[in-house]
Structure 1
Amino acid sequence: MINGHTAPGFEAVRAAFEANFAAGAEVGAAVSVYLHGKPVVDLWGGMAYPGTNRLWERDTLQVIFSTTKAATATCLLLLAERGEVDLDAPVADYWPEFAAAGKDRLMVRWLLTHQAGLAALDKPIARADALAWHPMVKALAAQRPLWEPGTDHGYHALTFGWLVGEVVRRVSGRSLGGFFRDEIAGPLDLDFHIGLPHDDLDRVSRLVMQPPTFGELPEEMRELAAAFMDSTSLTRRAYGCVEPAFDHNSPADQVAEIPATNGICTARALAGFYAGLIGNQILRPETIKMATIPQTSGPDLVTRRPFHVGLGFGLPTPTAAWYSPTAFGFSGLGGSIGYADPETGIAFGYVMNHVRSGPDADEPAARLSKAVNPAGP
């Protein structure tokens, strides 16, 4: 059963949401859309906790994996906008220990553009140490760059959060999650957390992890699949720098701050965050414009595919369902996504607990986005 509302003119979004469930693509999910700061779609449905009778409710929370990265980047951009951080200054100006291993001239902006050369560690760190924050920060400060910073780009799948978050912590005196809560989520009344309060643990939907289906990948993605199978590849090391791997169904992972991957929110809050970005409630328009200028091109060293990114915000390729020359956002493992388009005034958030893999992972979100913007590609 689908709950919620759609404003006149957005009925196609409800139809697409229902179709995703009918096709078996969803277990539990929610989608929200704002238009010029006003909510026009707010839908949810399915099971929040498979194997029980717990349905997805209006305030059900969901882990959004890398969709978190845009919120993390926004914290640093806000400090830069206020003049408290110079994006062209060395990271070591704010984090002196970071100057080790030849990183004394590594610029802050390269943390946002995945050009820092710190996508992996020479030696993986224990999960308990990663959850504790400071051991991971110490390891990154000591790590030598894996390529000359600023000369190439490789997706910092996990390390992005600690790198950006530690600069925010050093400058503001607050953890990344605390800064996000105080400066962004709190003022906008967003049910969006990086480091979940213990009292909210029972509201988090349980992830259903679909096994990888690499054998079904199209040819253009087979290089990435092969890299994942090679334990020595940069790809495998970037995603495997914490051992054992995180388990985002675990309360320990949910209450910790892992700013690259464990944001927890409602679809309403995710769309509201993007509505705030293009509604001048978080960053100034000139900051958004600066942050959405493409900074990288060509194949990414980690994902082995083109990765379009500005200063922390992902930029869609022309084949993406959410494509617009003025759109920006970020997606996460399994298909969650948040984005905004200043040109149309659309802000979009989609979250789900069925974490899909393979070439069809983004299809449910794509169908919803297409219903919002039928004129898109």
Structure 2
Amino acid sequence: MSNVAGFCSDQFEAVRAAFTEQVESGAELGASVCVTVDGETVVDLWGGYADPEKTKPWEADTLVNTFSITKTMVALSALLLVEAGELDVHQKVAHYWPEFAANGKADIEVRHLLSHTSGVSGWEAPIELRDIYDTDAASDRLAAQEPWWVPGTASGYHALNYGHLTGTVIKRITGRSLGRFFAEELARPLDADFHIGTPAADLGRIATLVPPEFLEFDQSQLPQDSVLYKTLFQPLLDFAECGTPEWQQAELGGMGGHGNARSIARVQSVISNGGELGGRKFLSDKTIDLIFDQQCDGFDLAILQPVRFGIGYGLPQPQIGPQVPDGKVCWWNGLGGAHVVNDLDHRVTFAYAMNRMAPGLIGSDRADAYMKATFDVVRGRA
């Protein structure tokens, strides 16, 4: 009997086949895949197990840490304020957050935060992972720092602090924390089970992460003044810590969001469906078009990979990276392989979330298999 449940329209049977193969072969431990077209769900599948001991089935409402998929939720939150006329992505960050102007950051614009080009991709040492749970105090530290490169000239992936930076701007404008703003303006109106700061009552639904096996290396051999080292090792992400209630409840907009494929697709369908969903107009075409205003295209200083960022999202890079289609498409992924793709040409959103993490910083073979099956259908190649 298949360990895959949910719904799949006949047109997308290839997605079910690809997902079922990965779950039943054991390549997946537990996972979910969702596809929407014109804001309506055409694929909503889940299967496998929520724990490595295989004692808890992955259920329809299982949640998992989606890591950097959370950044797309932060970006969309910021775009809501742009739509409302309360935020200008070309305005100086210090206009909204005056303390941020310290130490040579007066000219950094909001778009630089949203596109990883601000020069402030992490914290100066010493700092421990738990120090960033207090988002106000951790953001104050960022405001006091100097940028690590000339803002706007290159990207340096804001791996852990993306939500601290943009979230503080949102809080200065609205008086609400990032997690509260996202919940009140997006998650609840859309009935989407995604959380930036998971309520205590929902912690029992969170799947256990199975980290990948990374190659052992000597950190001391890395230049400790490099953007890579300071971004990814100050502090170092600890996967065991990611399973604690403290992590799960913290409002970590860079990498701490918890949801599943259904909730990711539901929220992000606001983009692929032209800004309108559930009978409500969230964004105009003008605001959505900001996403495609390219901010950088080149070698990222923090993750040492070629990346292409618009405002708040990655943009397609033909022949590079995961199976993201070309066109008017915006996307991003989460550490371990979670993915979201918004294809505006075809009004499609694809989402995937899992607990068995793949190695590498961007993408996975499993994510590629599901994306290929999806977009082969969407683009008439099936």
TM-score > 0.5, shorter chain as reference: yes
How many Å separate the matches in 2 of 1:339 and 1:171? 29
Q: For residue 291 of structure 1, what is the aligned residue in structure 2?
A: 291
Q: Contact 2:335–2:362 (CA<8 Å) still a contact in 1?
A: no
Structure 2 residue identity aligned to 1:327: V
Q: Contact 2:336–2:362 (CA<8 Å) still a contact in 1?
A: no
Q: For residue 207 of structure 1, what is the aligned residue in structure 2?
A: 209
Q: For residue 234 of structure 1, what is the aligned residue in structure 2?
A: 227
User: Deviation of residue 286 (structure 1)?
Assistant: 1.9
How many Å separate the matches in 2 of 1:226 and 1:285? 48
Q: Contact 2:48–2:57 (CA<8 Å) still a contact in 1?
A: yes
User: Deviation of residue 24 (structure 1)?
Assistant: 3.1
Within-5 A mapping of 1:30-109: 30-109=32-111
What is the TM-score with the length of structure 1 in the denominator?
A: 0.92
Q: Which of residues 232, 248, 271 is equivalent to 2:265?
A: 271
Q: For residue 153 of structure 1, what is the aligned residue in structure 2?
A: 155
Q: Which moved more, 1:286-295 or 1:244-253?
A: 244-253
- Write the deviation string for residues 283-340 of structure 1: whole angstroms up to 9, x where unpaired: 2222111212221012111122211111011112113312121111210101000111
1:180 aligns to 2:187 (yes or no): no
Structure 2 residue identity aligned to 1:253: W
Q: For residue 311 of structure 1, what is the aligned residue in structure 2?
A: 311
Give the gaps of 5 or more residues in structure 2. Answer: 277-281
Give the gaps of 5 or more residues in structure 1. Answer: 215-224
- Classify the secondary structure of the residue corresponding to 2:214: coil
Q: For residue 374 of structure 2, what is the aligned residue in structure 1?
A: 372
Structure 1 residue identity aligned to 2:230: R
Q: Contact 1:124–1:240 (CA<8 Å) still a contact in 2?
A: no
Q: Contact 2:88–2:110 (CA<8 Å) still a contact in 1?
A: yes
Q: Contact 1:112–1:312 (CA<8 Å) still a contact in 2?
A: yes
How many Å separate the matches in 1 of 2:176 and 2:362? 39
User: Deviation of residue 207 (structure 1)?
Assistant: 0.3
Q: For residue 5 of structure 1, what is the aligned residue in structure 2?
A: 7
User: Deviation of residue 244 (structure 1)?
Assistant: 7.0
Structure 2 residue identity aligned to 1:242: P
User: Deviation of residue 51 (structure 1)?
Assistant: 1.3
1:248 aligns to 2:242 (yes or no): yes
User: Deviation of residue 365 (structure 1)?
Assistant: 0.8
Q: Which moved more, 1:243-252 or 1:128-137?
A: 243-252
Q: For residue 340 of structure 1, what is the aligned residue in structure 2?
A: 342
Structure 2 residue identity aligned to 1:230: L
Structure 1 residue identity aligned to 2:29: V
Q: For residue 115 of structure 1, what is the aligned residue in structure 2?
A: 117
How many Å separate the matches in 2 of 1:252 and 1:289? 37
User: Deviation of residue 22 (structure 1)?
Assistant: 3.8
CA RMSD after TM alignment: 2.1
- Classify the secondary structure of the residue corresponding to 2:306: coil
Q: Contact 2:154–2:298 (CA<8 Å) still a contact in 1?
A: no
After superposition, the Cα gap between the structure-2 partners of 1:124 and 1:24, relative to the gap in structure 1 and judged at 3 Å, is: farther
How many Å separate the matches in 2 of 1:287 and 1:100? 30
Structure 1 residue identity aligned to 2:303: T
How many Å separate the matches in 1 of 2:126 and 2:187? 32
Within-5 A mapping of 1:163-174: 163-174=165-176
Q: Contact 2:337–2:362 (CA<8 Å) still a contact in 1?
A: no
Q: For residue 14 of structure 1, what is the aligned residue in structure 2?
A: 16
Q: Contact 1:335–1:355 (CA<8 Å) still a contact in 2?
A: yes
- Write the deviation string for residues 1-46 of structure 1: whole angstroms up to 9, x where unpaired: 1111111111100100012124432100000111111111111111
- Classify the secondary structure of the residue corresponding to 2:125: coil
How many Å separate the matches in 1 of 2:323 and 2:16? 17
How many Å separate the matches in 2 of 1:307 and 1:298? 6
Q: For residue 139 of structure 2, what is the aligned residue in structure 1?
A: 137
- Counting matched residue pairs gives 367
Q: Contact 1:228–1:235 (CA<8 Å) still a contact in 2?
A: no
How many Å separate the matches in 2 of 1:358 and 1:103? 32
Q: Contact 1:228–1:236 (CA<8 Å) still a contact in 2?
A: no
